[in-house]
Amino acid sequence: MTPAAIPPLAFGTGTSWSTAVDAPLDAALVTAIMTALHTGFRHLDGAESYNNERELGAAVAAAAAEGVMREEVFVTTKLWPTVSDAPGTFARSLTRLGVSYVDLYLLHCPFFTPSTHGVSVRDVWTSLESLHTSGAARQIGVSNFNTPQLRSLLGYARVRPAVNQVELHPYCCDEELLRYCAQEGVAVAGYSPLAPLVRFRGGPLDAVLERVAGEHAKTQAQVLLKWVRQRGALVVATTGKEDRMREVLEVEGDWELTEEEVKEITSVGRKHRRRAFWKKEYAEADAAVEAEMGKET
Ligand SMILES: NC(=O)c1ccc[n+]([C@@H]2O[C@H](COP(=O)([O-])OP(=O)(O)OC[C@H]3O[C@@H](n4cnc5c(N)ncnc54)[C@H](OP(=O)(O)O)[C@@H]3O)[C@@H](O)[C@H]2O)c1
Query: What confidence tens digit (pLDDT) does each residue in 132-143 have?
Result: 999 999 999 999
Q: What is the pTM of this model?
A: 0.97
Q: Is the CB of 23 under 6 A from ligand 1?
A: no
Question: Residue 180 catalytic?
Answer: no
Contact 221, 251 (CB under 8 A): no
Burial label, 294 (beta-carbon count in 10 A; 0-12, 13-18, 19+):
exposed
Report which protein residue has its CA nearest ligand 1's atom 48: 191
Is the predicted pLDDT of residue 297 greater than 60, yes or no? no
Is the predicted pLDDT of residue 66 greater than 70, yes or no? yes
CATH class belonging to 9-296: alpha beta
Question: Residue 43 catalytic?
Answer: no
Is the predicted pLDDT of residue 1 greater than 70, yes or no? no
Atom of ligand 1 nearest to the CA of 169: 20
Query: What confidence tens digit (pLDDT) does each residue in 173-213 have?
Result: 999 999 999 999 999 999 999 999 999 999 999 999 999 99
Q: Is the CB of 49 under 6 A from ligand 1?
A: no
Contact 250, 217 (CB under 8 A): no
Q: What is the dihedral of CA 100, 101, 106, 108, to 10 degrees?
A: -10
Residue 202 backbone dihedrals phi, psi, to 5 degrees: 100, 0
